[in-house]
Amino acid sequence: MKSRLPDRPLVMVVRNLKGTLAINNDRSKASGAFIAVCEDNRYVRDFLLIALTEAGYRVLAAADGKTMLEIIVRHEERPLLLLTGQNITGMNGIELVKGVRGMFADLPVIMISGLSNPMEEERGNFVFLKKPLMITSLLREIRCLLRCPEPGLSA
């Protein structure tokens, strides 16, 4: 019996010590929006990579905040959005956001966590989504943030 490739776009996930890169092989669906993802849970990170790539976004991801900062500094293109966990390895999500916003002050941020509330002192500085995530909710927030000039303006 012959195996058949799926009709949806193919996603190639490449891993190395400095991060993970998801490449959307269907260029006709790529929106051009470049999203940086930092999540230390491999399964959640892979889910986000595949879901965002299949939605047409270009994605660079890392398993820890320090690596994410290094990738953003070295990457030739500025991300249009940062999606990060709150409690990530190496530095927490708040520290990562501060580091990235030191380079790109207006960068929209979505922070995800299994905890019920973001760290109180940083509330309002980003959009907060609680895990487990519904991919439709995440994609709706991303679309809004990429349209809206300020993070957190979504309903």
pLDDT in tens, 103-126: 998 899 999 887 766 555 455 578
Percent of the chain with pLDDT over 70: 68
pLDDT for 83 beyond 90: yes
Which residues share a beta bridge with 127? 110
In sequence order, the 6+-apart residues with CB closer than 8 A to the CB of 102 are none
Lowest mean pLDDT among 1-15, 28-42, 113-127: 1-15
* CATH number of the domain where residue 25 is located: 3.40.50.2300
Question: Does some domain include residue 2?
Answer: no
Question: Does some domain include residue 3?
Answer: no
Question: Does some domain include residue 19?
Answer: yes
Alpha helix positions (H), the chain? 42-54, 65-74, 93-103, 135-147
Q: Domain residues for 83?
A: 11-147
- The single-letter code of the amino acid at 82 is L
In sequence order, the 6+-apart residues with CB closer than 8 A to the CB of 8 are 54
pTM of the model: 0.76
Would you state the pLDDT for residue 92?
Answer: 85
Question: Does some domain include residue 4?
Answer: no
Would you state the pLDDT for residue 28?
Answer: 45
Of the candidates 13, 12, 9, which has an alpha carbon nearest to the alpha carbon of residue 26? 9
Residues 37-79: tens digit of each pLDDT: 999 888 889 889 889 988 888 888 899 999 999 888 888 888 9
Per the structure, the count of domains in the chain is 1
